[in-house]
Amino acid sequence: MAEREHEHVRVVVIGSGFGGLGAAVRLRRQGITDFVVLERAGSVGGTWRDNSYPGCACDVPSHLYSFSFAPNPEWPRNFSGQPHIRAYLERVTDTFGLRPHLRFDAEVKSARWNTEELYWEIETAQGPLTADMVVSATGPLSDPQIPDVPGLDSFEGKVFHSARWDHDYDLRGKRVAMIGTGASAIQVVPAIQPTVDRLTVFQRTPPWVMPRADRKITRAEHWLHTKVPATRALRRQLLWGIRELQVSAFTKRPKELGLVQALAKAHMHRAVKDPALRAKLTPDYTIGCKRILLSNSYYPALAKPNVDVVAAGLKEVRGNTLVAADGTETEVDAIIFGTGFHVTDMPIASRVTGANGTTLAEEWKDGMEALRGSSAAGFPNFLTIIGPNTGLGNSSMILMIESQLNYMIDYLRQLDLLGDRIALDARPSAVHAWSAAIQQRMERTVWSTGGCDSWYLDKNGRNTTVWPGTTAEFRKVTRQVDLAEYQVLRAPARTGNESTDKTVEAAA
Ligand code: NAP
């Protein structure tokens, strides 16, 4: 075989958050060591590295929001904070010997499928390489979104996004605007309210907020979970099972959420005594349509005398004055955007060019779709972890990631069985059928019928982010690669200078 002039690996994993690190562990456990993990930053952790804002924590219990193969008997709280989750991911990296595979400051600039050689050509900030397979684990919450607000450039104060917190900026005594009331903002607000002079919250749509059953996990529990691992496994099973039982209310019977909505209303009534403020904070859509948020401190913080809620989005900035859509004007020293991420328009998609010479972003311009959440047609040997319709509203994303990693391992196994210089390309008919079935199930869900707009929906109003079933069902449908859903691409073996014509054969 001709010597390659560039570095070639079997698998390139992009990103070192939960998805990328999980992929690395599973590859090594499968005996595959010829892979690299490309990370644009200087350390692992993904969204749990980047989101270091005050109050940042996970609202899925840690015993469930962790890898099944890397249990941690010593989680400090039910809902761990960002520093603990980030430290957990650093530990996973060391425990599973992932460091030799990591390339930091190696942002992927482009990835292009070579239709002759049947491999990916990848340009990174550290130089080029090629790979038989790419596993894109960049995550949906990696690129912050700041709305295009007229006049923002002219603002002379401090501006940053919750996922790019400026820890050098002292908020003490400042007049601060918090833009947005999503999962990030409702954690930031109570954390900074005691510090700032005035806090103005720009709320375009009120969220439904439920109590957060958080507490310290006791030393006795740590001891028990360490000495009797079955107790830890049982705890995880219970946390998982409760959430599985909730799914049908979201996906089939939104009316069943009425009781939950009443509990959320009571939660607000307990903390907010001012009827005018309560009116502003009461959503006009069914609970669950947007992500249900958990907090015991958000409503009490809003009721404090140094906090104002403007029940309108930010429309314009004039000098240091923020103008809301309802005309309210507020002068501030700093603006914090808690305005979410590029989810349905993830930037990596515009850097990946497939077999037809088009980018993933171009293919997805009318909506993302990928077979079993992983494979887009025309992008052979390219898997997306947390791809289209793999998100969850109420349970742990780690469960979905691990199911997709099962799929990845079976994909590699199938490639091995098929022989050398082989690629699998999802058949467009299989991808469309998968996506059409999901969209049909979507019609009954609370995300479609609940009367809200959310980041689950793309610009055409299609829900291309959430999985409309249980995590058990997703695990089942991703257990194995069904070869009938793929075209097998075969390149002739290289012998000296012979042609490398690619042949396409129909799968069995
Ligand atoms: P998000 O849920 O997308 O929320 C963005 C917020 O910004 C929304 O309230 C949105 O209002 C608002 N917004 C956008 N443009 C605005 C404007 N011009 N003026 C005023 N408000 C504006 O983003 P996020 O809070 O960062 O959360 C993203 C996801 O990250 C979550 O859904 C969750 O999956 C995850 N997360 C989880 C946790 C946790 O586990 N506790 C914490 C943080 C994040 P509209 O509602 O009107 O669109």
Name the band, by pLDDT with cuts 50, 70 and 90, for residue 504: very low
Q: Tell whether 243 is covered by a domain.
A: no
Q: Which helix (H) or strand (E) holds 19?
A: helix 18-29
Cα-based distances in Å from 155 to 171, 269, 315, 320: 17, 37, 14, 6
pLDDT at residue 502, as a whole number: 45
- How many other C-beta atoms are found inside a 10 Å radius of the C-beta of residue 332? 23
Shared domain for 357 and 282, answered yes or no, is no
Residues 180/202, Cβ–Cβ less than 8 Å: yes
Residue ending a domain, choose from 294, 315, 337: 337
Residues 31/56, Cβ–Cβ less than 8 Å: no
pLDDT at residue 343, as a whole number: 86
Shared domain for 329 and 347, answered yes or no, is no
Looking at ligand 1, which residue's alpha carbon is closest to its atom 28? 340
Cα separation, 263 vs 270, in Å, equals 11
Name the band, by pLDDT with cuts 50, 70 and 90, for residue 393: confident
Atom of ligand 1 nearest to the CA of 163: 26
Looking at ligand 1, which residue's alpha carbon is closest to its atom 24? 340
Q: CA Rg, the chain, in Å?
A: 24
Kindly give the pairing relationship between strand 108-114 and strand 119-124.
Answer: antiparallel
Name the band, by pLDDT with cuts 50, 70 and 90, for residue 496: low
Q: What percentage of the chain exceeds 70 in pLDDT?
A: 96
| pLDDT per position as a tens digit, 231-263 | 999 999 999 999 999 999 999 999 999 999 999
pLDDT at residue 494, as a whole number: 67
Looking at ligand 1, which residue's alpha carbon is closest to its atom 36? 183
Q: Tell whether 439 is covered by a domain.
A: yes
User: Ligand 1 centroid vs 314 CA: distance in angstroms?
Assistant: 14
Kindly give the pairing relationship between strand 35-38 and strand 8-14.
Answer: parallel
Q: Tell whether 38 is covered by a domain.
A: yes
pLDDT at residue 3, as a whole number: 58
pLDDT at 82 over 60: yes
Name the band, by pLDDT with cuts 50, 70 and 90, for residue 5: confident
Name the band, by pLDDT with cuts 50, 70 and 90, for residue 40: very high
**246 Cβ partners below 8 Å, 6+ apart?**
394
CATH of the domain at 192: 3.50.50.60
Shared domain for 169 and 131, answered yes or no, is no
Shared domain for 354 and 324, answered yes or no, is no
Name the band, by pLDDT with cuts 50, 70 and 90, for residue 503: very low
Cα separation, 143 vs 392, in Å, equals 19
DSSP code of residue 1 = -
Give, for ligand 1, the residue of 308, 337, 339 to mutate: max count of ligand atoms closer than 8 Å to Cβ. 339
Tokens of 503: 């042949």
For ligand 1, say whether the CB of 59 is within 6 Å of any of its atoms: yes
Helical segments of 30-110, H only = 47-50, 82-95
Q: Tell whether 225 is covered by a domain.
A: no
Q: Tell whether 224 is covered by a domain.
A: no
> For 234, phi and psi rounded to 5 degrees?
-65, -40
Name the band, by pLDDT with cuts 50, 70 and 90, for residue 507: very low
Residue ending a domain, choose from 294, 314, 337: 337
Cα separation, 390 vs 343, in Å, equals 12
| pLDDT per position as a tens digit, 258-269 | 999 999 999 999
pLDDT at 505 over 70: no
Shared domain for 170 and 32, answered yes or no, is no
User: Strand order of the sheet with strand 422-426?
Assistant: 422-426, 486-490, 503-505
Cα separation, 286 vs 439, in Å, equals 20
Q: Tell whether 166 is covered by a domain.
A: yes
The dihedral over CA atoms of 371, 46, 204, 350, expressed in degrees to the nearest 10, equals -50
Looking at ligand 1, which residue's alpha carbon is closest to its atom 15? 339
Atom of ligand 1 nearest to the CA of 294: 41
Among the residue ranges 1-15, 274-288, 365-379, 396-410, the one predicted with the least confidence is 1-15
Q: Which helix (H) or strand (E) holds 353?
A: strand 352-353
Residue ending a domain, choose from 295, 312, 337: 337
DSSP 275-293: HHHHHHH--SS-TTSSPPE
pLDDT at 501 over 60: no
Range of the domain at 86: 7-143+342-506
Q: Tell whether 309 is covered by a domain.
A: yes
| pLDDT per position as a tens digit, 189-202 | 999 999 999 999 99
Tokens of 101: 């595979």
- First and final C-alpha spacing in the chain: 29
* Section 412-420 average pLDDT: 95
Q: Detail the DSSP E strand segments found in 15-86.
A: 35-38
**469 Cβ partners below 8 Å, 6+ apart?**
247, 251, 441
| pLDDT per position as a tens digit, 193-229 | 999 999 999 999 999 999 999 999 999 999 999 999 9
How many domains, the chain? 2
Give, for ligand 1, the residue of 79, 155, 181 to mutate: max count of ligand atoms closer than 8 Å to Cβ. 181
Tokens of 113: 């499928």
User: Ligand 1 centroid vs 28 CA: distance in angstroms?
Assistant: 36
Shared domain for 310 and 350, answered yes or no, is no
**133 Cβ partners below 8 Å, 6+ apart?**
10, 11, 12, 120, 381, 382, 383, 411, 412, 415
Shared domain for 191 and 256, answered yes or no, is yes
| pLDDT per position as a tens digit, 262-290 | 999 999 999 999 999 999 999 999 999 99
For ligand 1, say whether the CB of 157 is within 6 Å of any of its atoms: no
| Interior/surface letters 296-307, b for 16+ CB within 10 angstroms, e for the rest | bbbbebbbeeeb
Residues 98/24, Cβ–Cβ less than 8 Å: yes
Shared domain for 268 and 121, answered yes or no, is no
Shared domain for 389 and 501, answered yes or no, is yes
pLDDT at residue 382, as a whole number: 98
Tokens of 159: 């501006």
pLDDT at residue 4, as a whole number: 67
Q: Tell whether 164 is covered by a domain.
A: yes
For ligand 1, say whether the CB of 180 is within 6 Å of any of its atoms: yes
Shared domain for 77 and 171, answered yes or no, is no
For ligand 1, say whether the CB of 465 is within 6 Å of any of its atoms: no
Cα-based distances in Å from 175 to 191, 201, 354: 15, 11, 48
Tokens of 94: 């060391």
Amino acid occupying residue 280: K
For ligand 1, say whether the CB of 161 is within 6 Å of any of its atoms: no
3-class DSSP state of 340 = coil
Shared domain for 407 and 494, answered yes or no, is yes
Cα-based distances in Å from 70 to 17, 62, 90: 15, 12, 12
Shared domain for 497 and 360, answered yes or no, is yes
